[in-house]
Amino acid sequence: MKCIQCQTDNTLKDRTDNHGRCKQCQHPFVFEPTSMGATKVTDMMFAKAIADLSANDTLFFTPKQLFYLFNKHLQGRGMLQPIGLLILSGFATVFALVTIVLPGLEKGYWGFLLIPIVINGLCLWELWHRSQSQRVSSQERGYASRCLQVHGWAILVFGMIFGLNLNLFPFFAGSVVVGLAAVYWGRRGWINRAAISSVALLEWAKFQEWLTSWQTVNPITKILEPPKETQVALNVNPDVTAYSFDRLVVTDSAAIAQLLIANNFHFENNCAILSVTGYPQGIFLTAMEMLRRNPELKVYAFHDCSGKGMGLAHHLRTSPQWFQNSPVEIVDVGLLPRQILSIPSVFVQQSTEFAGASKRLTDLERRQFTADELAWLDEGNAVLLESFTPQRLIQALNRGIAASREFLEKDSSSGGSDGSDSIFIGDGGSPHYSVESFG
Amino acid sequence: MNANSCKEPYLLALGRVDNLPNHWLKEGNFAIAPSTPIAISPNQRFVIAGTAWLPQNKSSDPLQWIAQQWEQRETQTWEEVVGAFALAVWDRELQTLWCGRDRAGIQTLYYTINDSTHWISNQLRALNPYHSNQLDCVALRDYLTCAFVPGNRTFWQDVREVRPGVAVQLPDEEIHAYWQLQEHVTDEEQPLTWHSDRLRALLDQVVQEYLPENQPVGVFLSGGLDSSGVTALAAKFHAHPVHTYSIHFGKDCPSELEFSGIVAEHCQTQHHIVEIPFKTMWDVLPETMASLDDPIGDPLTVPNLLLARLAKESVGVVLNGEGGDPCFGGPKNQPMLINSLYSTVTQQETLQAYLISFQKCAADLPNLLLPDVWSKIQVEPWVFSDDLNSSQRYLNRLMALNIKFKGADHILTKVNNLTRAVGIEGRSPLFDQRVVDLSMQIPPEFKLSGVQEKVVLKQALADLLPVAIIHRPKSGMMVPVQLGFREHWNRQAKNLLLSRRAAIAPYLNQSLIRDWLNYQGDTWNRYGVKLWLLVSLELWLQGHGSGIRI
């Protein structure tokens, strides 16, 4: 195991002899994978997760974001890839046919046919199981579903040919039934790959223990403390409060508002940021007072893909504490159920709380979703913004604001997509850069 | 001698001048290079050398006029002169030399000392033979942060710039600030229209003074409020043709042509549009950087040079709208206002926020500069601190910073250098010292009102411009550098910036630059502009300094 400080590789003996320290630089190791049970973590793995999440120590992140990232890393670890499974099964079948089954059939040992049937049956079972598993990522479920479809077609074609050549009608019919069933289940798995909720492979309490241990040895500069709920209004320079802002981003959680503010999103994008829960409390009322001065304010609702999140934009439009009876434009740039399918890897959670919030949505709010989307929400499924990296969230919000601005500028009454459907997909940004000094 | 039309630098020496060639004009320990414009006061005591353009005294030789004034008022003359100048005044009796620069910083003035001799010039390149090749690492840090070198530093450690509104007495290098940009809000009880009428009267006067006599005039027209206003005023007052010049980067890139076209049609100008292909942007960059005194890493340098070159075909004087943003509350201020509100939560210091607000490499400095360079300069103070912490009102503080530094060291220097490079004269009426002074008298709420920027300027120009321009959506000039480095210049930029022999190699972390060139982790879509900054720096160093040392 490598030391994160000097990169020296330390064997178990080295680590034991040095009382858990690096033999080269004496930097302590936090994790000892040999004594961690089923879920093994190394120091390098933890350090890499932090570096990835903070974009090499340039972005702040929340502990929950690190927790979700770890869960994603752990999903499917140690398993053979679906494509590998498929190839292995193919080789095994061909090998068995050539070396055992066909010579056996010539001698009249029909029972040998069970060998390829068992091999392919096991492979089908594993692929189907993976395509439905809550312990792997949606991306992995997608791969397994595709492989299941391919396997189904292969069984269908080769089974039919084999059955016809051997004049074995039961084998022919079985291949057709099993092949078609695999194709059907594969297709179904592909469609539902993101709708299946994920199980956290790591307990939150256990992760917090790890994090505490890590920080005692390797302090993390970019990790955020839980948002402070200061009730006292902070003093703001009266010179400043006379002005207003063009844009406001409202989040459905204090953690996401805190994350955006800590990463200077407000400063970089020239917009105020508040959470619907009233964060940051110290300046909340002052900021709202400033924002109400601009009748042309654009408000962007940035929320989880959950029953509660779906109601954020409506809440902002109708709540007297926000913009009831106000002419300001409110644009939904949050995560929507229809986007979930397009995102390669999401962490879907399920709870009765989410289901309750979804069922409490008004008819007007529910009207914007398809029946499938509503069913997914009503089942209590949700994808939280905190399950994405800070970089992904910043880029998605940037794209959402840019897309909706272009859309509003073109013609807000002409209908069509506002471009926000794809804001969580891809990593491209605006190809242009604006500078102000041209006379 | 006009302000910018003289392409050749002037050069003066104070100290050991005996060994200078005989065609230099020598007097005691003072010497003037042959091409330097001079005037002598009527009593023969004072010799004025340098360049000046005085809009209120166009009929007389500006140097001669200053020489006469100096004879009567001596150093008080600095306060009397209205216009653009970079001058040296040699007192034959006292054997002292004063070097002074105009208040807005329209013209540049540099000096260095070498072996007890001071060398003075209006162009940095003219001092190259007289200073060491030691690069100023603080200036490098500042350039990476702001895209220009603010304050009295230059990229060369031994060369200093005379600040705007400052006169330096040599050889003692005694600095005398004859003018300070200060908030002086007056008539606060008066309504917006009163202030806008006052501003309009001044703009009418200034633009008329800035127009050339008996010849056509050009205007760089972006389609924004400032350049459109200057175009409208020029069209109103000029009896000769008004040419306007606009740019775009091809049909696939957003442009402001819609707005500049509206203004050109409204003002009946002869409108010229230049398309700047990506290849041209790259090809012209070395020449552009060679034309600049200190490096400027703003992507509009190349368009500015190309426009100036086009303007040269039809005019000798070209106006621009530079100055509208710094003087009247342009877009740079809002992020700082937001930061001020949120700083109670983020604890981000105002200075750090101001540095980040340039949206260049402020946050990257510890990783971008090599450790030995970073350790040398990380605790060095920044020139912005005093103004940022002054007692003026917050918006005026920000505007003062923009005028003093971004105005003088970036915008005006760029205009000066690049119009001079093609042999025309660039004039910025909104940066006239009287406009600058008036802007600091206008209450801040009439500059930025709620979210409305430049309110007083919009009101002052309302009758001259179409409503579509006065109330157009906020926008900046779009320069597609992000697209440029992704699709057009990536290979060339890699060869230039990642080479072991690159001039930036002794100072900057090339592995980080490689990540930028590969667009790894571009959270804010800003790698393009950072790469442009670095490419500009590399080309400037290649063009200006051989054998540079830390």
Let me know whether B215 and B165 are in one domain. no
- How far, in Å, CA of A247 to CA of A408, rounded? 14
B281: which chain A residues are within 8 Å (Cβ-Cβ)?
Answer: none
CATH number at residue B232: 3.40.50.620
B352: which chain A residues are within 8 Å (Cβ-Cβ)?
Answer: none
**Whether A433 and B299 lie within 8 Å, measured CB to CB:** yes
Can you tell me whether residue B477 is helix, strand or coil?
A: strand
Residue B537 lies in a domain: yes
Q: What are phi and psi of B536, to 5 degrees?
A: -60, -45
Look up residue B196 and give its amino acid. Answer: S
pLDDT band at A359 (very low <50, low <70, confident <90, very high): very high
- How far, in Å, CA of B329 to CA of B325, rounded? 6
- Chain B residue with CA closest to A233: the answer is B344
Q: What are phi and psi of B38, to 5 degrees?
A: -140, 160
pLDDT band at B153 (very low <50, low <70, confident <90, very high): very high
Let me know whether B322 and B285 are in one domain. yes
Q: Is the peptide bond before B335 cis (omega within 30 degrees of 0)?
A: no
The alpha-carbon gap from A234 to the nearest alpha carbon of chain B, in Å, equals 7
For residue A20, what are its two tokens?
Answer: 């858990």
Residue B543 lies in a domain: yes
Residue B153 lies in a domain: yes
Query: Where do the domains of chain A lie, and which CATH numbers do they carry?
Result: 12-75 (no CATH), 82-191 (no CATH), 238-422 (3.40.1360.10)
Q: What is the DSSP letter of B474?
A: P
Q: What is the largest CA-CA distance in chain A?
A: 98
pLDDT digits (tens, 9 = 90+) for B393-450: 888 889 889 999 999 999 999 999 999 999 999 999 999 999 999 999 999 889 888 8
Residue B377 lies in a domain: no
Residue B531 lies in a domain: yes
B63-78: burial string, b at 16+ Cβ within 10 Å, e else: bbbbbbbbbeeeeebb
Residue B451 lies in a domain: yes
pLDDT digits (tens, 9 = 90+) for B22-57: 999 999 899 999 989 999 999 999 999 999 999 998
Looking at the complex, does the CB of residue B253 fall below 8 Å from at least one CB of chain A?
A: yes
CATH number at residue B80: 3.60.20.10
**Whether B482 and A432 lie within 8 Å, measured CB to CB:** yes
Residue B89 lies in a domain: yes
**Whether B331 and A432 lie within 8 Å, measured CB to CB:** no
pLDDT band at A102 (very low <50, low <70, confident <90, very high): confident
- How far, in Å, CA of A81 to CA of A84, rounded? 5
**Whether B478 and A432 lie within 8 Å, measured CB to CB:** yes
- How far, in Å, CA of B321 to CA of B461, rounded? 13
Q: What is the pLDDT of residue B69?
A: 95
Residue A213 C-alpha from the chain's centroid: 26
pLDDT, averaged across chain B: 92
Neighbours of A231 (CB within 10 A): 8
Task: Kindly tell me if the per-residue pLDDT of A436 is higher than 70.
Answer: no
Cβ neighbors of B437 (< 8 A, separation 6 or more) are none
For residue A228, what are its two tokens?
Answer: 């402070």
Q: What is the pLDDT of residue A231?
A: 65
Q: What is the DSSP letter of B240?
A: S
- Chain B residue with CA closest to A396: the answer is B523
Question: Is the separation of the CB atoms in A273 and A257 below 8 Å?
Answer: yes
**Whether B322 and A237 lie within 8 Å, measured CB to CB:** no
Let me know whether B162 and B234 are in one domain. no
Q: What is the pLDDT of residue A1?
A: 86
pLDDT digits (tens, 9 = 90+) for A373-427: 899 899 998 999 999 999 999 999 998 888 876 655 544 333 333 444 444 544 4
Q: What are phi and psi of A185, to 5 degrees?
A: -70, -30
Let me know whether B151 and B197 are in one domain. no
Q: Read off the pLDDT of each residue in A61-90 and give the average, rounded to a whole number.
A: 83
A191-195, B127-131, B176-180, B505-509: segment of lowest average pLDDT: A191-195
Q: Return the closest-CA partner of residue B207 out of B224, B178, B227, B182.
A: B227
Let me know whether B199 and B236 are in one domain. yes
B332: which chain A residues are within 8 Å (Cβ-Cβ)?
Answer: 436
Q: What are phi and psi of A61, to 5 degrees?
A: -145, 165
Q: What percent of chain A has pLDDT over 70?
A: 88
Q: What is the pLDDT of residue B394?
A: 86
Let me know whether B210 and B291 are in one domain. yes
Question: Is the separation of the CB atoms in A10 and A28 below 8 Å?
Answer: no
Sign of CA dihedral A374, A378, A379, A383: positive
Looking at the complex, does the CB of residue B542 fall below 8 Å from at least one CB of chain A?
A: no
Let me know whether B227 and B148 are in one domain. no
pLDDT digits (tens, 9 = 90+) for B464-504: 999 999 988 766 667 899 999 999 999 999 999 999 999 99
The terminus-to-terminus CA distance of chain B in angstroms comes to: 38
- Chain A residue with CA closest to B298: the answer is A435
Hey, of B344, B392, B515, which one would you mutate to test binding to chain A, going by the most A CBs within 10 A of its CB?
B344
pLDDT band at B161 (very low <50, low <70, confident <90, very high): very high
Helix locations, B154-224, DSSP H: 192-210
Residue with tokens 């009426």: B429
Let me know whether B167 and B66 are in one domain. yes
The parent domain of residue B525 ranges over 480-550
Q: Following DSSP, what letter does each residue of B302-355 receive, concatenated? A: HHHHHHHHHHHTT-SEEE--TTHHHHHT-TTHHHHHHHHHHHHHH---HHHHHH
- How far, in Å, CA of B240 to CA of B221, rounded? 18
**Whether A243 and B450 lie within 8 Å, measured CB to CB:** yes
More confident of the two residues B386 and A346: B386
**Whether B451 and A296 lie within 8 Å, measured CB to CB:** yes
Q: What is the DSSP letter of B430?
A: G
Question: Which residues between 311 and 340 in chain B have a beta carbon less than 8 angstroms from any beta carbon of chain A?
Answer: 320-325, 330-332, 334-335, 337-340
Let me know whether B459 and B492 are in one domain. no
For residue A279, what are its two tokens?
Answer: 């964060």
Let me know whether B420 and B534 are in one domain. no
- Which of B428, B445, B470 lies at the terminal end of a domain, its last residue? B470
Residue B361 lies in a domain: no
Let me know whether B278 and B421 are in one domain. yes
More confident of the two residues A344 and B70: B70
- How far, in Å, CA of A251 to CA of A294, rounded? 20
Let me know whether B116 and B226 are in one domain. no
- Which of B177, B211, B230 lies at the terminal end of a domain, its last residue? B177
Number of domains in chain B: 3
Cβ neighbors of A257 (< 8 A, separation 6 or more) are A227, A249, A251, A273, A274, A275, A279, A280
Q: What is the pLDDT of residue A406?
A: 63
**Whether A409 and B428 lie within 8 Å, measured CB to CB:** no
- How far, in Å, CA of B14 to CA of B223, rounded? 47
Looking at the complex, does the CB of residue B410 fall below 8 Å from at least one CB of chain A?
A: yes
